[in-house]
Chain A
Amino acid sequence: MFTTETIKPRAVFDFHIHLMGEKRIDAEFLAFARDWNMPFAVSCLGPEGHMIANPTINECRRCNDLVIDLMEKHPDLAYGFCYVSQEHEHLAVEEVRRCVRNGMVGIKLWVAAKCSDERTFPIAEEAIISNVPILQHSYLRWKEILPGESKPVDIVQLAKRYPKLNMIMAHMAFRWKEGVDTVKECPNIYVDTSGFDPELGSVEYAVENLGVDHVLYGSDAPGRDPVCQLGRVMAADISAGDREKILHINAKKLLGLAGGAA
């Protein structure tokens, strides 16, 4: 029989967490993160318990204020990503500046518009100036249901236009082989392992095709159970050193945090 002492990872940084704006759920995740001593990158996509695909600028500000508050209360754990929508154009850029001034370390784009949309360009330029990455939601579906949902090809377009911009393709785009194959030509694109079932071979495929330095552990908690998502990385047939990089070193390096040197 295994024992928990032998299989629990030494250190973890979760690159894909959502603050839900609902006290009970957020407290449950915080207790988990505290128990695992696990810092995390966090964004809020809706201030009242549900995610908003096309938020108003005021809703974005309320979301980001919740994250700033969380960062102030838990500075050892919470690393904020600023939620903005391309629909707000210059106001989105101003919101990024405000959030970075308040200590946020990244930008989260969801499904308001594809990231290849030209309204993303000023946000990308601000990300480069502020030296923060963009975490872009991406899901390759068989049936398209969200017109603003970015596909890997959209991420490639933006990454090629701005080679100094660091982008993270969330969820390995769900259809992970196609997602990885599409973005592997761009050295400024990373992937996170969050938000899809722990399919056999998914981590190994990303490591083989992108290089281990471009793979980040993420869970998509609290919607997903982070223990199951962590299990994906723990299960992968990779070296111990590569596992450490995926679990925390790569994230810290990308965000310029202590512990980011291999």
Chain B
Amino acid sequence: MIIDFNAHYGREIGTTAGCGVEELSRIEKSAGVDKIIASAFGGESNNQPFPGNMIRFIPIDPAFDKDQLDLEPFIKGIRIYPTYHPWDFDSPAMADLLSLAREKSSIIQVYLRLQDPRAMPPAVPSATVIEALDSIIPVNSDIRFVISGATYLEIAANPAPFRYNNAWIEISHVQHPINSLPKLLDIIDSSRVLYGSGAPVLYPYVGIFRILNSPISQDIQERILTRNAIDLLGGI
């Protein structure tokens, strides 16, 4: 079973036209993905019916209203995009988010990028967000964080927030330099690394191909493609 921890549906994701739920499901199936962690983007409704191969996370921005949010259908996870929707990490909104995640045992998935910054420019530098995560993750050790969209060079420059026991890394944007995955595994434990595709911005099969063709053991390949995600989600 291959689990994609990074997919979206909706219109206009960066410079990409985007796609609906059914089309995303088809694209992922054709790449060999069995389960998709997906959320809405670009104004798409969160509440449309989901195919059985998808698990919903809910995307929120700093203007969210905790009392209006129906978290039940998305109880597994919440996604935030702090390089695109600037968060004050000391704000009441962030406190609400952390309290929600704690109350519902939800994962918080933090995006640093969805597309090349030259195509989808960030409002906040990724390094600034990584620094903030280094403060937030260790003091919320009962909440599980997934960091998406980081590059190998960003992780190598400031690996601390990626190494906490309650942090995982999704690797759709670990694409530089040569041998980037084995290099990542030199500094991050393989039990913390998750396959994510970035679909429909990126081809979902690229991540699978690179994991299976990188000089890493079959055990680690299977961890990244499947087992780490199952452990993190508490089963499928």
Contacts of B2 in A (CB 8 A): 1
Contact among A198, A225, A237 for B178, CB-based, below 8 A? A225
Contacts of A3 in B (CB 8 A): 212
Judged by a CB distance under 8 angstroms, whether B213 is at the interface is yes
Contacts of B15 in A (CB 8 A): 175
Contact among A29, A200, A225 for B180, CB-based, below 8 A? A225
> Which residues in chain B, 102-127, are within 8 Å of chain A measured between CB atoms?
115-116, 118-119, 121
User: In chain A, what residue has the closest Cβ to B118?
Assistant: A141
Most buried by A among B31, B175, B201: B175
Complex formed: what's the CA distance from A89 to B61 in Å? 55
Contacts of A7 in B (CB 8 A): 209, 212-213
Most buried by B among A1, A32, A200: A200
Contacts of A28 in B (CB 8 A): 178-179
The A-B contact count (CB < 8 A) is 104
B213 close to A198 (CB less than 8 A) = no
B179 close to A228 (CB less than 8 A) = no
B210 close to A196 (CB less than 8 A) = no
A231 close to B210 (CB less than 8 A) = yes
Judged by a CB distance under 8 angstroms, whether A232 is at the interface is yes
> Which residues in chain B, 189-210, are within 8 Å of chain A measured between CB atoms?
199-210
Judged by a CB distance under 8 angstroms, whether A235 is at the interface is yes
A231 close to B178 (CB less than 8 A) = no
Contacts of A199 in B (CB 8 A): 16, 115, 201-203
Q: Count residues of B near A (Cβ-Cβ below 8 Å).
A: 38
Contact among B173, B174, B181, B208 for A2, CB-based, below 8 A? B208
A200 close to B200 (CB less than 8 A) = yes
Judged by a CB distance under 8 angstroms, whether B44 is at the interface is no
Contacts of A198 in B (CB 8 A): 175, 202-203, 206
B176 close to A235 (CB less than 8 A) = no
Q: Count residues of A near B (Cβ-Cβ below 8 Å).
A: 34
Judged by a CB distance under 8 angstroms, whether A230 is at the interface is yes
Complex formed: what's the CA distance from A237 to B31 in Å? 10
Contact with B along A214-235 (1 / 0, CB 8 A): 0000000111111110111011
Complex formed: what's the CA distance from A223 to B199 in Å? 23
B205 close to A228 (CB less than 8 A) = no
B27 close to A200 (CB less than 8 A) = yes
Complex formed: what's the CA distance from A7 to B211 in Å? 11
Judged by a CB distance under 8 angstroms, whether B177 is at the interface is yes
B177 close to A223 (CB less than 8 A) = yes
Complex formed: what's the CA distance from A29 to B16 in Å? 32
Contacts of B210 in A (CB 8 A): 225, 227-228, 231
Judged by a CB distance under 8 angstroms, whether B141 is at the interface is no
Judged by a CB distance under 8 angstroms, whether B214 is at the interface is yes
Judged by a CB distance under 8 angstroms, whether A4 is at the interface is yes
> Which residues in chain A, 201-249, are within 8 Å of chain B measured between CB atoms?
221-228, 230-232, 234-237
Q: With A7-B212, A8-B213, A196-B116 known to touch, is A231 a contact of B179 (CB < 8 Å)?
A: no
Q: With A4-B212, A200-B16 known to touch, is A236 a contact of B180 (CB < 8 Å)?
A: no
25 example contacts (A-B, Cβ-Cβ < 8 A) are as follows A1-B222, A2-B32, A3-B212, A4-B213, A25-B178, A28-B178, A174-B118, A174-B119, A198-B202, A198-B203, A199-B201, A200-B16, A200-B204, A225-B179, A225-B180, A225-B181, A225-B210, A227-B181, A227-B210, A227-B213, A228-B175, A228-B206, A231-B207, A231-B208, A232-B203
Q: Which residues of B contact A (CB under 8 A)?
A: 2, 15-16, 27, 30-32, 115-116, 118-119, 121, 173-181, 199-210, 212-214, 222, 225
Q: Which residues of A contact B (CB under 8 A)?
A: 1-4, 7-8, 25, 28-29, 32, 141-142, 174-175, 196-200, 221-228, 230-232, 234-237
